[in-house]
C-alpha cells in the first residue's frame, strides 16, 4: 500500500492536463490506460472490473465511441477498429486501437494529426499483436515498421509534443487473450521472451528518435500479483499506477513539480492496516475499493530529479506548452 501514496490524484491530473489534448494509441492494455485517465480526470475512483473488461461500448464515463467497436462487428481480428474520445471544457483525450505499429490504418491516423489539432501528449505502445499475428519471424518487420512510424510521427508532430513510448508489460507463463487466436496458440509459451526482445528494439529506437521511453516491463517486474488470470491484462490498481507514472513523467517534462510522496489519508492507512493484518494471518487480501481519497497540493517550481521509470528523458528542460482549441469542426467533435 505504500505505493498508493505516490498515486496522482484527480485534482493533480486535472490541473496538469488543463487545456491539453492527449492521444493514447495501442491495444487493449492501452485502452485501459485511456479509460483510467478519463476516469481520473473526473473523479477519485478506480476502474471497475466490468469497465476493464469491456471493449467497443458506446459510452464510458461521459466519453463516446467515434468509430468501430459496437458501431460495427466486435471481433478479435487484426482489422478490429475502435476510436474513442472524451471531451470536457478543459480536457480532450482520444484513443485509437492498434493491431500494428505501422500500417495503412496507422497512416490514416497520422493523417488526422497532420490535418487537424496537434496533440500535446501522445502515449503509444504496439507490440504483442505485431510479434504474434503477422509472422513467425517478426523481428525484421517490427523493426522496419517502428522506423517508419517514428519517422512519420516526428515529421508530423511539433517539437513541443511530448511523445511517450510505453514498453510492453510482463506477460505470464500461461496466457490467453483476444489476440491469441487458435492459429497462434503454439506461440504462447515463448511470447513473454519475445516481448523482452521486442522491448529492447523499440526502446532503443525510441531513444534514437529522441522520444521518451517508459519501461513498464521493468517497473512492474515485482508487481505480478496485479496481473490478471489471463496473463496479459492488469487490475485497476496497476492501471492507476501506470497513469501516475505517466503523469509524473509529463510533469517532469513540463517543469512542474509533483510531490514524490503524497500524504496518506485516513482511508488509505486503514486499508493498508487491513491488508497487513490479512497477510499476517495468511488469508487472502480484501478486494481493492474503487474509491481513492483526494489530496491537495500546490504546483511548485520544478526541481530536477532522476526519474526511475524512464530510459532517457528527452524533454527535461522543455517549457510548458498548452495550445488547445475547445471546438473543432471535424468528425471527432461530437459535443
Residue 294: which CATH number? 3.40.50.1110
| Total domains in the fold of the chain | 1
CB 78 within 8 A of CB 129: yes
Rounded to whole angstroms, how far apart are CA atoms 313 and 302? 15
Instruction: Note whether residue 297 is domain-resident.
Output: yes
User: 98 is written with which cell numbers?
Assistant: 492498434
Using DSSP's 3-state secondary structure scheme, residue 257 falls into strand
Closest CA to 318 of 272, 265, 262, 249: 249
- Asked whether the beta carbons of 179 and 128 are under 8 A apart, the reply is yes
Residue 19 lies in a domain: yes
**Per-residue model confidence (pLDDT) at position 174:** 85
For residue 144, is it within any domain? yes
Neighbour order of strands in the sheet with 64-68: 64-68, 82-87, 91-97, 20-26, 121-124, 162-167, 212-215
pTM: 0.79
Could you tell me if residue 265 is inside a domain? yes
pLDDT at 135: 83
Encode the chain (335 residues) as per-residue pLDDT tens digits: 555 667 999 999 999 999 999 999 999 999 999 999 999 999 999 999 999 999 999 999 999 999 999 999 899 899 999 999 999 999 999 999 999 999 999 999 999 999 999 999 999 999 999 999 888 889 999 999 999 999 999 999 999 999 999 999 999 988 876 666 666 666 777 889 999 999 999 999 999 999 999 999 999 999 999 999 989 999 999 999 999 999 999 999 999 987 654 433 333 333 333 343 444 444 433 333 333 333 333 333 333 334 444 444 555 444 433 333 333 334 444 33
Cβ neighbours, 10 Å, residue 286 = 11
Residues 6 or more apart whose Cβ sits within 8 Å of residue 98:
25, 26, 27, 30, 105, 106, 126, 129
Cα separation, 82 vs 255, in Å, equals 33
Cell numbers given for 246? 505517466
In a domain, 323, yes or no: no
Within a domain: 79: yes
Number of helical (H) and strand (E) elements in the chain, helices listed first: 10, 9
Structural domain range at position 31: 2-301
Residue 309 lies in a domain: no
**Is 180 among the domain residues?**
yes
3-class state of residue 54 by DSSP: coil
DSSP per residue over 20-37, as a string?
EEEEEEESHHHHHHHHHH
C-alpha pair distances (Å), 124 with each of 58, 128, 166, 175, 303: 23, 13, 6, 23, 27
Question: Is the alpha carbon torsion for 127, 204, 158, 242 positive or negative?
Answer: positive
Amino acid at each position: 500500500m505504500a505505493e498508493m501514496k505516490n498515486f496522482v490524484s484527480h485534482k493533480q491530473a486535472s490541473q496538469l492536463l488543463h487545456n491539453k489534448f492527449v492521444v493514447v494509441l495501442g491495444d487493449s492494455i492501452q485502452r485501459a490506460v485511456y479509460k483510467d485517465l478519463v476516469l481520473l480526470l473526473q473523479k477519485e475512483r478506480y476502474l471497475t472490473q466490468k469497465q476493464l473488461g469491456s471493449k467497443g461500448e458506446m459510452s464510458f464515463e461521459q466519453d463516446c465511441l467515434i468509430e468501430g467497436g459496437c458501431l460495427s462487428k466486435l471481433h478479435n481480428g487484426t482489422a478490429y477498429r475502435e476510436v474513442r474520445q472524451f471531451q470536457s471544457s478543459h480536457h480532450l483525450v482520444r484513443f485509437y486501437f492498434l493491431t500494428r505499429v505501422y500500417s495503412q490504418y496507422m497512416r490514416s491516423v497520422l493523417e488526422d494529426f497532420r490535418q487537424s489539432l496537434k496533440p500535446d501528449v501522445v502515449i503509444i505502445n504496439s507490440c504483442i499483436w505485431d510479434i504474434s499475428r503477422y509472422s513467425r519471424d517478426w523481428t525484421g518487420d517490427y523493426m522496419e515498421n517502428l522506423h517508419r512510424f517514428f519517422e512519420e510521427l516526428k515529421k508530423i508532430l511539433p517539437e513541443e509534443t511530448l511523445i511517450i513510448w510505453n514498453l510492453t508489460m510482463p506477460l505470464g507463463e500461461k496466457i490467453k487473450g483476444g489476440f491469441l487466436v487458435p492459429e497462434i496458440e503454439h506461440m504462447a509459451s515463448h511470447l513473454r521472451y519475445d516481448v523482452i526482445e521486442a522491448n529492447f528494439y523499440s526502446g532503443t529506437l525510441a531513444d534514437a528518435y529522441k522520444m521518451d521511453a517508459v519501461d513498464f516491463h521493468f517497473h512492474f517486474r515485482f508487481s505480478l500479483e496485479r496481473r490478471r488470470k489471463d496473463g496479459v491484462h492488469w487490475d485497476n490498481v496497476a492501471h492507476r499506477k501506470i497513469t501516475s507514472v505517466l503523469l509524473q513523467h509529463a510533469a517532469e517534462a513540463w517543469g512542474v513539480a509533483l510531490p514524490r510522496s503524497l500524504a496518506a489519508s485516513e482511508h488509505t492507512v486503514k486499508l493498508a492496516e487491513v491488508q497487513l493484518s490479512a497477510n499476517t494471518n495468511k488469508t487472502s487480501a480484501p478486494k481493492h475499493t474503487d474509491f481513492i481519497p483526494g489530496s491537495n497540493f500546490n504546483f511548485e517550481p520544478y526541481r530536477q530529479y532522476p526519474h526511475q521509470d524512464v530510459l532517457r528523458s528527452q524533454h527535461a528542460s522543455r517549457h510548458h506548452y498548452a495550445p488547445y482549441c475547445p471546438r473543432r469542426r471535424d468528425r471527432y467533435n461530437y459535443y
